[in-house]
Structure 1
């Protein structure tokens, strides 16, 4: 919420303070309170052209942001100079998503300026928190993948690794979510509407990117076979650089995001003929590429745009990487000693073919040499076990958009399959499964196979996930190249997810064990003895309650619901997908509701169920589940019989800044995906780091969290991966569970009968049908009884505050393994061969 308008007296006081600030010595990058106050005053006047009478809260936010950015600029330049002088190996992180959230507070913390800036603004009668609220989220990602990339950038800078992030500067990021009668409605997210204080446009580094056209094969004057890509449609990629500051050091790395721009703003001949629409048509077509995050790909046009997006940012980034290398090196000899490129999932996998195209077609390298370099620089991180999430492109579409790249993919594939057959290590079945081209009526290019074949390292993101990659998803490749496969369990940055998100807890931890934990999360282990200290447990509970109060205030303002702070805050916030099983959570809530209605004497431990999730615009079942959550909440929250016992809240428009309020307030973290479906998860780590106890299956990183915190401090339920496989082998029949479990039958019958949709009794029948007649693909019914029993254990534990506090403290103390700093060190040492390069 913007702060209320200032009174005339307040403006006069601010005017006098600003006048005094402008009289201070002008030190561009000093960090004392006086200098920050002067910098704020200058930017308000000279950057925003406002004074205390006309400035809005947004103007004041920009003035603060520019003052902070000024203090990053010299370090930013020095960082790049240091990398050039030392000729160090650089890491390039290619990701279609960077879910950065808000930047101001994070930069204040990392630069060590938060307290000084707060004091500087207070002396002007302003509140820093009011101005922090003005910044929009940079929602350039969909969920865990993009947020992980943001954590990695923070850790790379904090650990002083020479690194660059590359992605797309989407004009519209992840959509804003509205709820209309409980249904999700998507609205454009205009995060750039008022500009972006943190980015620096670099038009001098524009890159031409080509699409469509055809190839010409010819023999050059030396008798060598060559290929031209001609008659293409050209788009320009314009870079925008964002500084990424390390924590309390001088390193400021770069996130470079590419915006698509037409090669010509408009066709002058069309314009002169009066055909204004045709004059700007090419501009509009070109700039669509960076318009929106994840366009709906249910249509051919949508699929084509997705492929264009992926190639666009990859082509720009590869061009940039090679140009940077050639500034200080005359050839590509030793290129792999200076460059490491990490592919964040399959989205940038086309980089393998693009680097080969540039090496062979533009720099005239022999195929064998180019391929040797290519396979030495790439690493591929897989983030999913779901076959449908491993990108495949129709050969016809791929060849139309990128004709030269299809030829290169065919050649890579031909040589690879010849090599496999010659090795005698695989039968024809394995050869067919490993082929980049999936044969059949609709031939497809398998991007995951291209990434595996073109990389020196393939990693999963949790121990269980990596094991399943080896034994199931990529088992043929693992049999061929076992040495290439390794695990890098995900992590999250403790700077944002504890120090910034939970300042009271962070301050208390620092008072008890010192500040070293901020950059060495293993230090949190020193909290373990305090779990047995009654005074510390009391303080811990008080901090949790304060965080619950903050979240409750948001819920009151947004949902109109007053929460019981003594209830269990049971939270599931993440992308809405059937495998994450928000539906199982809802089935339990409905069971609780029906039980209370049937037995007025039943008095469960009060619980507040909190959800936050966005469903992909074209995902019918996910949208149905959001509607179900809201419909159940509508009934439960207005039924006097259950008031004070259970409440259901759906937080609309879940995003990073909202997550920063949710994680510290949670008592229970719901991590309930079907075993074998979640690659890792990072929300589970953020909850743990903030003292929430996990209710979870043995899936993804849950396995390692349970190992770290101890089985007694984790609420386990559900089938294991092995049991899931055995159940499917025997033949899973969900009707058996329906018929044999009276509680489960009552829940599904309530949904079918329209109890939660009285005006539309058949509204939720598709959900029931998916469970009973659709095979219940994610085994909600098979795990239902185990989940109910687990939730009873949760309730019993919560009745003992001292025991609960001890468990929660131990979760915080044992969260060090899940710092992204640890993850990045492992990538650097075991995959990239990169070393820290401190900036003086």
Structure 2
């Protein structure tokens, strides 16, 4: 039994009702920390180390209260004192340790690893300023330091340090951790974050993310993904990755020895999952430690590591399948570079196919290194894994078919339903009981698809979620969303393959359609959110187009009552928790074959949005689950897209010159429209679409417009629409990260669950 009233008196000398939300937040954070510290850390002979460049954990308070079993009691006591837990949660500073789906997935996975009672920790870096804090100035993205560390209250000092030796200097790390309690199981794991002991925050100005990238010994943990548009930035990326994996490897070896390993049996004590290619250098680093620090024979060390490192591939995009010049590695970590050369030589002796070489023309292919010298390679959705096996990584699949498997991504329902959508959670509990909290089985809801009471409850829950979103957008950005608007959402990292530009072209079409007198049945609010990498010019141009369209439409009295475009500034997990539960339509419109999985698609589905999508990534599995009547699909197939790329057969000009498409693309450079924006950005984006369109937005545009109009029309049959929404909620259980992690453990990790 907890007593917040007593805690308030002790901490602040005031009754709970008389302290502010910020003080209540501190009170609850202390409560969570105390409870977490009483929980034993999960132990086991074999331990998982999930190494990732990103952990986009979001605010921790509500999630931790749920997992600790304190949520209902705390919410009730706060309500009695006149406090709203959601308002208190807003006082917490969101840790800036990730950017997009890769980092959010890692956070969901850590929650599920702990909930399933598996001994395993996340390992990464403690970025002082994250990626960046996004601000819109003159309808353009500007990047500021995301200063979260000064206000955080979640990091625990583990009191451990390691030395990392670079080519001509060394640095010392310092290890911090964040508790990850399992759901109602009385145990915890940790997210373990290495910082640079000599880090110098003064290198970063207050109003910019520019800093001296050559001062490596002082800047290694300042930013996630430092700008790599110049050689200093690219080198810094390599330094940063090696700093991460060297610390991780030293931690793994030291803890295995503490648990009784003689290192010859290291795979019995540790399994390493590398999340994409960023941590791949942990393979040669482990070999270096075993051979050079512990005297193990090179071939035996290679064999040891080959039995303990597993690799998750998240993309087929060339930019994310990292390749580093060998000379960079030789400068950053010469011992590692030599080991990679030996590994390449060893691989060439085993296989004479140049397609699978690790080093080609002086460039190290990190994915190739991970596949050859890991024991497992997994994709993250059925379609994605099929593409890896049949095309992108086919030569490796021919060599190592036993290494390949699929592990469709998942999300934790503790955060993405129970935490962010209390009204829908209450409805589900009332309708089918609470077993789904542990099993994620929501299929019993299918028995209620014609139950008017349940359907009305879903409408009511969606209405309350929309009210919370409207309040957030009014407070956050000063925009008012009509109460009866349909909420149409695309939130994700800004990238051409995700095709935010295609939705923008639709908005131009809709704007012109309304100007021609075709008014929609109700207001439509289209919500975007996401950041563009600072060096990714076209992505920033897309943001500028969206923001310029938003202003253009808002200032047109003929259209503004019927169409609204909002782009959330500094989109993050906290914003997602407001917007996703409110959405009616989930936009998942990537070019087929390019999105490995997606996880926002799962979050929207779970919260009762209906998906409008290409058959890409996990959208394929969503479509199979809900059936064609409860999803809207369009677009060129992944197989046809692959053919167009392979044959160089896509000609954007052929589509651009179609009158209906040319009208929309040329609107971007309409003199009146350009006068409200940045001419250079708009012309560049126009020309890129008309002449390059590398991710084929024009290819699918006409069908997208047709299907999107059908979605809006179908929304007006409210009974049918709400049944679609309920079917989506009912079928979302497949996408629980608990299911994903159970599969990882059964097929790859083989950890013993702690009871």
Q: Same fold (TM over 0.5)?
A: yes
CA distance in 1, matches of 2:65, 2:519: 50
CA distance in 2, matches of 1:539, 1:125: 26
- State whether structure 2 residue 198 is matched by structure 1 residue 262: yes
- State whether structure 2 residue 222 is matched by structure 1 residue 291: yes
Shift of 1:53: 13
Q: CA 1:764–1:284 in 2, change beyond 3 Å: closer, same or farther?
A: closer
> Of 578, 600, 618, which aligns to 1:661?
578
1:133 corresponds to: 90
2:359 corresponds to: 437
2:207 corresponds to: none
Q: CA 1:496–1:432 in 2, change beyond 3 Å: closer, same or farther?
A: same
Alpha carbons 2:213, 2:233 under 8 Å: kept: no
2:523 corresponds to: 606
Alpha carbons 2:221, 2:240 under 8 Å: kept: yes
Alpha carbons 1:754, 1:762 under 8 Å: kept: no
- State whether structure 2 residue 312 is matched by structure 1 residue 381: yes
1:229 corresponds to: none
1:587 corresponds to: 505
2:153 corresponds to: 197
Q: Secondary structure at the match of 1:565?
A: coil
Alpha carbons 2:177, 2:192 under 8 Å: kept: yes
Shift of 1:127: 4.1
> Of 184, 188, 199, which aligns to 1:252?
188
1:447 corresponds to: 366
Q: Secondary structure at the match of 1:647?
A: strand
2:136 corresponds to: 179
- State whether structure 2 residue 340 is matched by structure 1 residue 409: yes
- State whether structure 2 residue 399 is matched by structure 1 residue 480: yes
CA distance in 1, matches of 2:234, 2:30: 39
Q: CA 1:373–1:604 in 2, change beyond 3 Å: closer, same or farther?
A: same
TM-score (norm 2): 0.95
Moved more, 805-814 or 557-566: 557-566
Q: Secondary structure at the match of 2:134?
A: strand
Q: Deviations over 1:410-432 (max 9, x none)?
A: 001101110113xxxxxxxxx22
Alpha carbons 2:21, 2:83 under 8 Å: kept: no
2:41 corresponds to: 79
Alpha carbons 2:5, 2:15 under 8 Å: kept: no
1:68 corresponds to: 32
CA distance in 1, matches of 2:411, 2:229: 33
- State whether structure 2 residue 6 is matched by structure 1 residue 38: yes
Residues 168-247 of structure 1: pairs in structure 2 closer than 5 A: 168-194=125-151, 196-203=152-159, 205-213=160-168, 233-247=169-183
> Of 609, 633, 645, which aligns to 1:692?
609
Residues 139-178 of structure 1: pairs in structure 2 closer than 5 A: 139-178=96-135
Shift of 1:809: 0.2
Q: CA 1:780–1:122 in 2, change beyond 3 Å: closer, same or farther?
A: closer
Q: Deviations over 1:513-568 (max 9, x none)?
A: 1111112112x000011111112111111111111111112222334332223222
Q: Secondary structure at the match of 2:38?
A: helix
Shift of 1:835: 2.5
Matched positions, count: 743
Cα-Cα RMSD: 2.2
Q: CA 1:190–1:450 in 2, change beyond 3 Å: closer, same or farther?
A: same
Q: CA 1:542–1:122 in 2, change beyond 3 Å: closer, same or farther?
A: closer
1:725 corresponds to: 642
Q: CA 1:104–1:558 in 2, change beyond 3 Å: closer, same or farther?
A: closer
- State whether structure 2 residue 743 is matched by structure 1 residue 788: no
Alpha carbons 1:41, 1:63 under 8 Å: kept: no
> Of 427, 434, 439, which aligns to 1:508?
427
Moved more, 563-572 or 808-817: 563-572
- State whether structure 2 residue 302 is matched by structure 1 residue 371: yes
Alpha carbons 2:17, 2:81 under 8 Å: kept: no
Moved more, 397-406 or 601-610: 601-610
Alpha carbons 1:488, 1:826 under 8 Å: kept: yes
2:629 corresponds to: 712
CA distance in 1, matches of 2:609, 2:178: 33
2:208 corresponds to: none
CA distance in 1, matches of 2:199, 2:213: 9
CA distance in 1, matches of 2:471, 2:425: 22
Shift of 1:66: 1.0
TM-score (norm 1): 0.86
2:446 corresponds to: 528
Q: Deviations over 1:781-813 (max 9, x none)?
A: 110111011112202210100000000000000
Structure number with bigger Rg: 1
Q: CA 1:778–1:527 in 2, change beyond 3 Å: closer, same or farther?
A: same
1:322 corresponds to: 253
CA distance in 1, matches of 2:199, 2:135: 37
Q: CA 1:88–1:788 in 2, change beyond 3 Å: closer, same or farther?
A: same
Alpha carbons 2:528, 2:566 under 8 Å: kept: yes
